[in-house]
Amino acid sequence: MKLTQLFLAELDREGPRTRRALEQVPHGRDDWKPHPKSMPLARLAGLVASMPSWVTLVIEQDELDLTPPPGQGQYQQPSTDTLVETLDKHVTKARESLSKTNDDFLLTTKWRLRAGGKVVMEQPRHIVLRDTLNHLAHHRGQLTVYLRLNNQTVPAIYGPSADDQQFA
């Protein structure tokens, strides 16, 4: 099986799982966080909703600077009202990008992550895509803890939860 097919299949599995978590994000709790060092709920949920956009970035651009010059490429956090819409849009674009690329490109070309112009990571694109999907699962896991602590339903992700007995 081709790498692109594997990534598409994984995106098709992880998208609905992520959607179920985002559907439970409570309104009016945007600034809530479980600890002073934790990120606020709205920021975490926005990150989870936007994470599939990194698949498109990794395929269609050669790099990303996390701290670009003022006015260039500043991150726009989605509102809690548009989390699911944001996720769906980015999953669709990610699928399109994966469908248009090929394994040779993913295996032989590198992608860079910069912070303030300094290269902090440079890896083959297939590794960055793998890390991106792992990163999505990581932050979605954090989000489910936030949901539990806010008395929201924790959806089944890879198996039943205390609230959702379906085997996802």
Residue 122 contacts residue 112 (beta carbons within 8 Å): yes
Q: How many CB atoms lie within 10 A of CB 129?
A: 26
Whether 159 shows a pLDDT value over 60: the answer reads yes
Instruction: Please state the rounded mean pLDDT for residues 32-54.
Output: 96
**Element of type H or E holding 120:** strand 118-124
User: Per the domain annotation, does 168 fall within a domain?
Assistant: no
- Residue 66, pLDDT score: 87
Residues of the domain holding 10: 3-149
Q: What's the N-to-C CA distance of the chain in angstroms?
A: 24
Instruction: Please state the rounded mean pLDDT for residues 83-89.
Output: 97
> How far from chain centre, in Å, is Cα 65?
17
The HSE-up count of residue 46 (CA atoms within 13 Å, CB side) is 15
User: Per the domain annotation, does 164 fall within a domain?
Assistant: no
Whether 36 shows a pLDDT value over 80: the answer reads yes
Please report, to the nearest 10 degrees, the dihedral formed by the alpha carbons of residues 53, 58, 61, 64 taken in order. 80
Residue 74 contacts residue 89 (beta carbons within 8 Å): no
User: Per the domain annotation, does 26 fall within a domain?
Assistant: yes
**Total of domains in the chain:** 1
User: Per the domain annotation, does 25 fall within a domain?
Assistant: yes
User: Per the domain annotation, does 78 fall within a domain?
Assistant: yes
Whether 124 shows a pLDDT value over 90: the answer reads yes
Whether 126 shows a pLDDT value over 80: the answer reads yes
> How far from chain centre, in Å, is Cα 134?
9
Instruction: Please state the rounded mean pLDDT for residues 108-123.
Output: 96
SS3 of 99, please? helix
More confident residue, 71 or 55: 55
User: Per the domain annotation, does 158 fall within a domain?
Assistant: no
Residue type, 43: R
Chain mean pLDDT for the chain = 93
Q: What is the CATH number of the domain that holds 18?
A: 1.20.120.450
Residue type, 160: P
CA dist list (Å): 26 to 80, 98, 148: 8, 32, 11
